[in-house]
Structure 1
Amino acid sequence: MKFLTEYRDPEVVESYVGELHKITTRPWTIMEVCGGQTHSLVKNGLLDLLPENVRMVHGPGCPVCVTPVHLIDKAVYLAEEKGVIMCSFGDMIRVPGSRKSLLEAKAGGADVRILYSPLEAVKIAQQHPDREVVFFAVGFETTAPANALSVVHAQRLGLTNYSILASHVLVPPAIDAVMNDEDVRIQGFLAAGHVCTIMGISEYYGLVEKHKIPMVVTGFEPVDLLQGILMTVRQLEAGRATLENQYSRVVPAEGNPEAQRVIQQVFEVTDREWRGIGTIPHSGLEVRPELAAFDANRKFSVSIPKVPECVDCIAGQVLKGIKKPYECSQFGKKCTPENPLGAPMVSSEGACAAYFHFSGVGL
C-alpha cells in the first residue's frame, strides 16, 4: 500500500498547497480533462485548499457523459426489439436515452447484462450460439484496446454472433474543440494520465503550440493532482507554455505500442458526435469496414432518429468548463442520481455526480 499512501501523504499535500499560495499572483483557470480527476479533486476536498485565484473547471473526459442519446436509443432498441443480449459496463446502463435507459429496458424484460470486461461478452457469445451478443463499447483511448481485443478474439474463435456498438471518443480533438469555443476561457490543462499510458504524449505537443497553453499530464491521487496544478501555475506565472509529464512513473512518452497496434487493427478514426457538445471532427473510433461483421452499427443497420437534448440540462456547458454543476438550476432538484436529466449526474466520472455526492455545494 506504500505506493498509494505515498501519493496521499497529508504533509506533501500541505507543502504543495503552501507553494501554490506563495506563487499565485493572478487569476488562472485550469481544466482537468478527466472525470476521474474531477472526482478525486472534489472527493478529497482539494478545491477548497487552492488559492482563490486558481479556478479548476471540469472537462469532457467522461466517455459515458458524452455518448449521444441516439446511440443509447439504438442500444435499447437492439435489446428490446431485436432480442440481443446487450452487454455493458455498469455506468452506461443508467444513462437516460430519449425514452428510457438500458436499466429501464432491463426492468421491462430485455436481456441487459453488466460486465467488467468485453472478453466476458465474447464468452457469453460462445455459450449462446443461437443469440446475438452486443457489447456497448464506450470509452476513451483507455478502454479501446480491450474492446478491440474482444473483436480479435471473436474473429479467431469464428464467432458470427458477436459484435460491438462502438462509441469510442478521443481526447486530443476534444481539447482542441474546447479551446476553439469562443465562450471558453481556459489557460491551462491537466491531461488524463491513463489515456497517455496507452497513447503516449506526442499528440499533445501540437495542442500546446497551437493554443499557447501549458499542459501537464497528471495522475489521479491528491499529490498527483496538486503537483500537476502547481506545475501548471508555475508555467502560467512565468509566461511559459510547454508540455510536462507529472505522471512519468506510469506514462512513458511513447505510450503502449502493443495497445496502439490492436486499436489500429480494429478501429479507424472518424468524426464523432459528443453529447451536449456536438460533432467533433476526427474525434472517434469506428470498426474498420473489413471487420463489419463485428460492427453492430453495420450488422443491424438500425436507423434511430436524433432527438434534442433535455432543455433543462446544461451538461454541454459543464463538459466544456463554462459552468460548474451547481450553477444548473435543476442541480439536486429535478436532476439527481436517482432521476438524472443528463449523463454527468449518472457516471462515476461525471462532474455533476461528483458535486452531488461529495461537495454539498448547491444542494
Structure 2
Amino acid sequence: MININDKQIIKKAIETINKLSQKVDDVKIMHVCGSHEHTICKYGIREVLPENITVIPGPGCPVCVTTQKEIDTAIYLAENNYTITTLGDMYRVPGSEKSLMEAQSEGCDVRIVYSISDAVKIAKEDNKVVFVAIGFETTAPTTGAELISLKNKNKDINFYILNCHRQTPPVMEFLLNEGNVNLDGFICPGHVSTITGLKPYYEPCKKYNAPMVVAGFEPIDVLMAIIMILKQIINREAKVENEYKRAVREEGNVIAQKIMNEVFEPIDIPWRGFPVIKNGGLGLKEKYKKFDILEVEEVPPIKEKIPKGCICDKILRGEKFPTDCPLFGTVCTPLNPVGSCMVSDEGTCRIFYKYRKLV
C-alpha cells in the first residue's frame, strides 16, 4: 500500500505543481472546508506554492456562516423560558449584544450537547427544548433521522429545532457567478461529498467552466487536487474529478440523501457575509414543520449589528485573509472573539491564529 504521507511523494507533487505553474497565469483556487484549511496551514502548503498559485479559504465553516440574526433568535428564545441546546462551537459565537454563553451567565437555560439525540433526551425531562441545528449536508441527515423518529413515535414532546442547516454547492455557484474574486477552480469539500457524491457539482462546473476536484485531508490530497485543477486549466477543461476515492463515491451516501429528501427541501436563505443564496438552505417540509420553533413562536424583528472593524464577511467570501483584519490576533482572539470566524475550530481566523507562526 502506498503511504500517502511519504515525503518523496509529497516532494514529487510539489515539483509537479511548480512545473505546471509555468504554463499558467495567476490561478486562484478556493476551498470551502475548515478541515482543508487546517491541513493547508498546519503543513505550510501555501508556503511551498509558486507565487502565481493562490489557494483561498471560503465559507467552509457552518458555525461561521450562521447569521447573527439566527444567534440572536436563539438568545431571545433562551430569555423567554426555552431551554436552548447547542453544539459547543455555537456557545461562544457573538450575537449583536451577547453570546449564548453570556445569556447562560445571566440565568438562561443554555446547555451544550454532543448531538440532537442528547437534546431530545432533555426534552423528555424538561419542557420547551430547542436544539440549534447547524451544519451542511454532513450533519443534516442526523437532524433528519431524529425528526423522522419523533414523528413516527407520534408522541407529544415539547421539542423543536432552530433550523440553521445549509447546502454547500449553491454558495459555490454564487461565488462563481456573483463573487468579487475571479476564481479558476474549487477544491470541493471531502466530508460533504461523502454524503452528496459528485452530482451536485456537475451543473456549476459546466455552467461556469470551473474545474472542481473533491479532495481528502492529508497534505498529499490537497497537493494532488491542486495538480488536477492545474492540468484541467492547461488542457482547457472543466470537469468534476474525485481525488478522494477512498471515501467518496460517485453516488454519495444514498441512505443519508434519502433521509434529507424526506425531511428537508431547498430554500433561499442568507449566509453570514452573503446576501440570500438561492437554494442555500434546507427548510423543513410541511409534515415536519411542527418541529420548527419559528412556526410556533413569534420572534420580533431582529436587526444585525456587525462589530466595527470586523471583516468576517470579506474573509468568508474569499476577498480577504484573516491577517488583513485590523482586529486579528489583538482585539479578536479565541478567548475574546469579535467575529464568528475566530470561534470554531473550523473557522478560518481561528485556524490562522492557531498556526500563526506558519502562515
Pairs within 5 Å for 1:212-231: 212-231=209-228
| Alignment correspondent of 1:154 | 150
Superposed CA deviations along residues 63-91 of structure 1, whole A, max 9, x for unmatched, are: 1111111110111111122x222111111
Question: Aligned equivalents of 1:270 and 1:329: distance in 2?
Answer: 35
Residue in structure 2 matched with residue 62 of structure 1 by the alignment:
61
- Residue equivalent to 2:97: 99
User: Pick from 300, 305, 318: which aligns with 2:302?
Assistant: 305
Q: Which amino acid aligns with 1:104?
A: E
Paired residue for 1:273, among 270, 273, 276? Answer: 270
Equivalent residues in 2 for 1:162-311 (5 A)? 162-181=159-178, 183-311=180-308
Matched AA of 2:109: D
Tell me the distance in 1 between the aligned counterparts of 2:97 and 2:329.
22
- Report the equivalent of 1:331: 328
How far apart, in 1, do the equivalents of 2:26 and 2:255 lie?
42
Q: Distance in 2 between matches of 1:133 and 1:150?
A: 14
Cα contact 1:151–1:163 (8 A) shared by 2? no
1:221-275 deviation line (CA, Å, top 9, x unaligned): 2121111111111212222211101111111111111111111111111111101
Is the CA contact 1:96–1:341 (under 8 Å) kept in the aligned structure 2?
A: yes
The answer as to whether partners of 1:24 and 1:237 remain within 8 angstroms in 2 is: no
Q: Which moved more, 1:282-291 or 1:207-216?
A: 282-291
Shift of 1:284: 0.2
The Cα shift of 1:160 comes to 2.0
Give TM-score scaled by structure 1 length: 0.94
Q: Is the 8 A contact 1:292 1:299 kept in 2?
A: no
Aligned residue for 2:27?
28
**Contact 1:73/1:304, CA 8 A, preserved across alignment:** no
Deviations 1:113-169 (A, max 9, x none): 22221111112222x1x4111111001011000011121222234242111111111
Q: 1:250 to 1:7 in 2, by over 3 A?
A: same
SS in 1 for 2:62: coil
Secondary structure at 1:113 match in 2: strand
Paired residue for 1:120? 118
Q: Distance in 2 between matches of 1:159 and 1:103?
A: 29
Counterparts of 1:335 and 1:181 in 2: how far apart (Å)?
29
| Structure 2 equivalent of residue 51 of structure 1 | 50
Counterpart-to-counterpart distance in 2, 1:240 and 1:330: 41
SS in 2 for 1:135: strand
> TM-score when scaled to structure 2?
0.95
* Structure 1: 5+ residue stretches without partners: none
Amino acid in the other structure paired with 2:28: T
Structure-1 separation of matches of 2:156 and 2:27: 53
1:197 Cα deviation after fit: 0.9
Counterpart for residue 133 of structure 2? 137
The 8 Å contact of residues 125 and 159 in structure 1, kept in 2 or not, is answered as no
Give 5+ residue unaligned stretches, structure 2: none
The one-letter code sitting in structure 1 at the alignment partner of 2:329 is: G
Which secondary structure does the structure 2 equivalent of 1:57 belong to?
A: strand
Q: Residue 87 of structure 1 aligns to a residue in which SS?
A: strand
